[in-house]
Structure 1
Amino acid sequence: MSADSYRTDELLTIPDVAEYLKVSETTVRRLQEKRSIPFIKVGGGVRFFTRDISSYLEKQRVESIDSI
């Protein structure tokens, strides 16, 4: 599933987030445990809003330095 196909209000599972971020499920769990990304507890599992994952990505962005 491409990043464009996720709606901003969609709830994602750990495997969904791993695919979206192109990282392992272990990395997603680590980010969740460190509370680096917001999550929701549903039953015995956790879910993530797509908008929160997108926001997390934006915060990780490093601006380039102009080499002029």
Structure 2
Amino acid sequence: MSEERYSASDPLLTVAQAGEYLGTGERFIRRLITERRIAFVKVGKYVRLERSALDALVDKGRIPSQR
């Protein structure tokens, strides 16, 4: 039985697309991957990132307001 895990609402992004999504460069994304600070998917020799993993990274770094 084949189960579809990825949907259009949570696409797999390239490193370049992930950098653009976060407003950073590819180098920062590659460092996150190398340091295993973000979950990623290997598709053959290619590295892809789920948009939900990027959103989780942003939420993890969110600092609440003091007010």
Q: Which runs of 5+ in 2 are unaligned?
A: 1-7
RMSD of Structure 2 on Structure 1 (CA):
1.1
> Normalising to structure 2: TM-score of the pair?
0.83
Match of 1:26 in 2: 27
CA displacement 1:2-28 (0-9 Å, x = unmatched): xxxxx5420000000000000010000
Equivalent residues of 1:14, 1:46 under 8 A apart: yes
Match of 2:44 in 1: 43
Partners of 2:65 and 2:36 in 1: CA distance: 27
Aligned length: 60
CA distance 1:19–1:59, change in 2 (3 Å): same
Q: What is the one-letter code of the residue matched to 2:34?
A: E
CA displacement 1:22-62 (0-9 Å, x = unmatched): 00100000001111110011111100111111111101100
Equivalent residues of 1:14, 1:28 under 8 A apart: yes
Q: Which runs of 5+ in 1 are unaligned?
A: 1-6
Q: Which has the higher helix share?
A: 1
Equivalent residues of 1:37, 1:52 under 8 A apart: yes
CA distance 1:54–1:8, change in 2 (3 Å): farther
